[in-house]
A and B are shown apart, each in its own frame.
Chain A
């Protein structure tokens, strides 16, 4: 086995330690920035939904403020966004490089995308359901959690999956500007040193990660349509 690896992907074998560290770095960045972006994005998405015209807590100022910021952030290419954010990142976490330095720009790059997806998803919850819940004396918080979020669970899982996959892409890009991770490894130990096998293996590993995320996402989304996962039967 080891012989075979040495023969087919010699450079990966030589740099195997770096390879493993960088794979773990990618996963670490993914999990940390993913969780933070999920929470903030969901929150912003909900805010957009309820403050928009005809929403349950219509508020022009909040809506337009968020709307404009999101549009601006989404129109900046990520690679430029990272550079643009360097001074702020430094102020916030003390460094603009490494995993620590990558989290902030990753979150800023992901939140607008995810928030928009959440907004679109929640817009698909029919007004009729909200109206019915309101007629039963449901509060705003109740409408958000018991109607909007609950009804949209499968769709929310779907857009979370899409966002997670795009986040993997952003992490690889962040690697190119010194964040570490597989992107970085593929650039500096692979491309720069003409080690094609390293580039190829990095691509395969990223592909596997994406496939796993997609598979988990699809499964959960399907299983939650009728809440097969956590349902209690009443006798």
Chain B
């Protein structure tokens, strides 16, 4: 549905150049909810704004729903970026909805008129516009707010209006730039549920930009992690987060897991050095969650396993578990136990030698 190849964009400021996007390649399938996560300044907004050419890249090719929005063409021996004509671009943008962190509703228009905005001044007849807007208002559940102005709405309600407006002309793709970042947790959840619904009901392909891991976890199937304009890692959410490679990804994963509390425990000396033990982090996946692997190890290798922290999360409807445990006993047995875990698809990270007080 969306294919981005060799995308580059540099902002030229007075004192320096900012490489906002560097050699980005992405491919997003139809009906997917694709997350792009990264810290502030990573280039996420720049990237998503290139997808509908609100921002013009310097180099690269973008295809959305079989329409080439821009590509490189060799003119007189030089690679030049060629984009769709202004008119074609406007037509294509009707097929790519977009929502924003600050909603960007028109303040002097009612909810009804805001949603009707993209339909007016098109070939659509007045009656049909009316019908379509009512349909959309139903879809986002704002029937009692139809004649209300945006100022009188809560953040979550405003974002619902923005979503209805963005999908009014039946786009196949919805771009979301931090759409939940200005909302409280409840509103965030309800907006995410709405997006999930639209994805299922309409087969809408959604690109979600966020800096919140929880957003990715709750609705995305695929994720790309961005840092300094580059995509450092991408794949399905489950495999990326069960086995993070880059430092940024590890930081994001740690940010939502209770397992990182082990650092606090170490810091406050609640866990301490001990030659006879090893503090390990065990990450076990879909297949191994149900097995009684801990007691098996304990029995088989004669090691004491004290569980310090444990967590389980559901990602893409599959469980991902994590345990911080202290293994105590004969050092050879401990090493064998670790080997056994690894042979059974459990990822093991030795954190520190330690003992729980």
Contacts and interface: CB of A to CB of B under 8 A. Distances in A.
B118 A136 contact: yes
A12 B120 CA distance: 58
A171 B182 CA distance: 51
B211 interface: no
A132 B104 contact: yes
Contact of B90 (A137, A147, A224): A137
A136 B108 contact: no
Given A153-B108, A227-B108, A135 B147 contact: no
Contact of B91 (A137, A151, A227, A234): A137
A221 to B, nearest CB: 12
B52 interface: yes
Interface string A194-235: 000000000000000000000000000000111100010110
Given A128-B102, A226-B149, A135 B108 contact: no
Interface string A145-187: 0110011010000000000000000000000000000000000
B100 interface: yes
A133 B121 CA distance: 13
Contact of B108 (A133, A134, A138, A225): A225
Interface in A90-139: 126, 128-129, 131-139
Contacts of B92: 137
B interface, by DSSP: helix, strand, loop or mixed? loop
B276 to A, nearest CB: 60
B39 interface: no
A132 B93 contact: no
A135 B93 contact: yes
For chain A, the bracket of interface size reads 20 to 34
B98 A132 contact: yes
A104 to B, nearest CB: 36
Contacts of B108: 150-151, 153, 224-227
B107 A151 contact: yes
A142 B118 contact: no
Given A136-B93, A137-B90, A147 B106 contact: yes
- The CB with the most chain B CB atoms within 10 A, among A134, A151, A153, is that of A134
A231 B165 CA distance: 20
Interface string B86-101: 1000111110111010
Contacts of A227: 108
A138 B106 CA distance: 14
| Band of interface residues on B | 20 to 34
Nearest to A225: B108
A137 B112 contact: no
Contacts of A150: 106, 108-109
B146 interface: yes
Interface in B141-197: 146-147, 149, 162, 165-166, 169, 175
A196 to B, nearest CB: 49
Contacts of A142: 121
A137 B169 CA distance: 10
A233 B147 contact: yes
Contacts of B301: none
A128 B118 contact: no
Given A136-B165, A137-B93, A139-B90, A131 B100 contact: yes
B146 A234 contact: yes
B93 A131 contact: no
Contacts of B162: 132
A137 B94 contact: yes
A168 B137 CA distance: 49
B54 A135 contact: yes
A137 B91 CA distance: 6
A129 B104 contact: yes
Contacts of A153: 108
B117 interface: yes
A7 to B, nearest CB: 54
A135 B106 contact: no
Nearest to B134: A234
Nearest to A150: B108
A54 to B, nearest CB: 12
B322 to A, nearest CB: 40
Contacts of B107: 151
Interface in B68-106: 86, 90-94, 96-98, 100, 102, 104-106
B96 A135 contact: yes
Interface string A12-25: 00000000000000
Contacts of B86: 139
Nearest to B49: A131
Contacts of A126: 102, 104
B101 to A, nearest CB: 9
A225 B108 CA distance: 7
A39 to B, nearest CB: 22
B310 to A, nearest CB: 44
Contact of A129 (B52, B90, B96, B106): B106
Contact of B117 (A128, A134, A136, A234): A136
Given A129-B106, A151-B107, A227-B108, A137 B118 contact: yes
- Can you list the 8 inter-chain pairs with the closest CB atoms, starting with the nearest? A132-B104, A135-B98, A136-B118, A128-B104, A137-B93, A137-B90, A137-B94, A234-B112
21 contacts: A128-B104, A129-B105, A132-B104, A132-B105, A132-B162, A134-B54, A135-B93, A135-B96, A135-B97, A135-B98, A136-B93, A136-B97, A136-B117, A136-B118, A136-B169, A137-B93, A137-B169, A150-B108, A224-B108, A234-B112, A234-B146
